[in-house]
Amino acid sequence: MKLLTFFIAIFLTTGVTWSGDFSDAQKQAAQEHKLILINFSGSDWCGPCIRLRKEILESSTFESYASGHLVLVRADFPRQKKDQLSKEQVKLNEALADKYNPDGKFPYTLLVDENGKVLKDWDGFPNETPDQFVSQISAIK
């Protein structure tokens, strides 16, 4: 019974964590020698953003790779009142957008190093499988 509980606990904790603070992500990336994936999203209004999240970023292939190789940052810009973020989070997201997404593209995903240097970007929905998406990241690392 203990073994079953152990496997259930592992299964439930295999998801990845998305940060909302780029400076914290940079510190973590430096400590763990990982790259940072930044995803600009309109989670409640942008169809391609929702599709990217569901088909690629929440896939077991991506999550498995990301858990060992990436620090993840999501800058979300929801529009519906019920989905609004804290004022502090809005400021963090806007500052990140000013630096990396001044044109306001959605979805817009970037791979950066711990210093914030852009290594690759995906403008819009990457029309590829999770395996192909991960392969592109892996080739850069």
Question: What are the domain boundaries of the chain?
Answer: 16-140
Per-residue pLDDT at 14: 54
Model's pTM, two decimal places? Answer: 0.89
At 35-59, the pLDDT tens digits run 999 999 999 999 999 999 999 999 9
Greatest pairwise CA separation for the chain in angstroms? 54
CATH 1.10.3720.10 is right for the domain spanning 16-140:
no
Q: What amino acid is encoded at 100 in this protein?
A: Y
What number of other Cβ atoms are within 10 A of residue 94's Cβ?
Answer: 12
Instruction: List beta partners, residue 121.
Output: 110
At 51-99, the pLDDT tens digits run 999 999 999 999 999 999 999 999 999 999 999 999 999 999 999 999 9
**Is residue 125 over pLDDT 60?**
yes
Residue 61 in tokens: 């292939």
Q: Please, which residues have CB within 8 angstroms of residue 14's CB and are 6 or more apart in sequence? A: 63, 64, 67
Instruction: List beta partners, residue 123.
Output: 108
Share of the chain above pLDDT 90, in %: 89
